[in-house]
């Protein structure tokens, strides 16, 4: 039952939303979930004058390491194949070779959104970007909806946990 809902939602986004504009925009939007892009953000924060920014840079770096580790362990343990490997007629716009569940991009970008927006309410718009990245992973044909939902939940939990552990005052 759940897998049929997952497949139906996958096709709704991957095939049903398919158009030239998204074919150009989604691969670009997708890159905001790449750990390398988020690492650049962490490095930039490290070089800013404010102590809070430098601390956030360190926490983001730690969050990326923790996210990568958690996702790697879950991917190997669950070993779910990518949609384009198990479903016919997938609109595949990029390739990914690792397992599908959970989405590492969704985990990383939601962890960053949770971490940064927990520090400042002004940064809650980062969740919109995170949702865009998660949507792009399905649109591009490399994840099922449940992969990105799980990645988002893991990322949010990790982001807030890192903030709590660091004892930086949360602004909620």
What global pTM score does this model have?
0.90
pLDDT the model gives residue 168: 56
Nearest to 55 by CA among 118, 143, 128: 118
pLDDT the model gives residue 111: 96
Q: Give Dmax over CA atoms of the chain in angstroms.
A: 53
Domain edges within the chain: 2-166
Give rounded-to-5 percent helix, strand, coil for the chain: 75, 0, 25
Instruction: Return the ∠ at Cα 60 (arms to 127 and 165), rounded to 5°.
Output: 100
Nearest to 142 by CA among 70, 79, 92: 92
**C-alpha distance from residue 91 to each of 14, 24, 127, 158 (Å):** 6, 13, 26, 32
Burial 6-41 (b: 16+ CB within 10 A, else e): beebbbebbeeeeeeebeeebeebbebbebeebeeb
pLDDT the model gives residue 27: 92
pLDDT the model gives residue 169: 55
Distance CA 172, CA 168 (A): 12
User: Would you say the C-alpha torsion 33, 125, 39, 72 has a positive or negative sign?
Assistant: negative
pLDDT the model gives residue 128: 94
Top CATH class, 2-166 = mainly alpha
Per-residue pLDDT of the chain (172 residues; tens, 9 = 90+): 668 899 999 999 999 888 999 999 999 889 888 888 999 999 999 898 888 888 889 999 999 999 999 999 999 999 999 999 999 989 888 888 899 999 999 999 999 999 988 887 788 889 999 999 999 999 999 999 999 999 999 999 999 999 888 865 544 4
Q: Which residues make Cβ contacts (< 8 Å) with residue 16, sequence separation at least 6? A: none
pLDDT the model gives residue 172: 42
């Amino acid at each position: 039952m759940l897998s049929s809902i997952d497949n139906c939602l996958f096709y709704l986004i991957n095939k049903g939303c398919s158009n030239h504009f998204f074919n150009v925009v989604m691969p670009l939007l997708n890159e905001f979930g790449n750990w390398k892009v988020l690492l650049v953000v962490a490095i930039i924060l490290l070089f800013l004058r404010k102590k809070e920014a430098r601390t956030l840079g360190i926490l983001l770096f730690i969050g990326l390491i923790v996210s990568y580790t958690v996702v790697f362990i879950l991917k190997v343990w669950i070993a779910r194949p990518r949609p384009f490997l198990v479903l016919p007629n997938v609109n595949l716009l990029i390739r990914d070779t690792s397992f599908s569940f959970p989405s590492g991009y969704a985990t990383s970008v939601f962890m960053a959104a949770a971490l940064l927006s927990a520090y400042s309410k002004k940064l809650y718009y980062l969740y919109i970007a995170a949702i865009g990245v998660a949507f792009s992973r399905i649109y591009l044909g490399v994840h099922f909806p449940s992969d990105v939902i799980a990645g988002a939940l893991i990322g949010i939990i990790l982001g807030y946990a890192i903030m709590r552990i660091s004892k930086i005052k949360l602004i909620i």
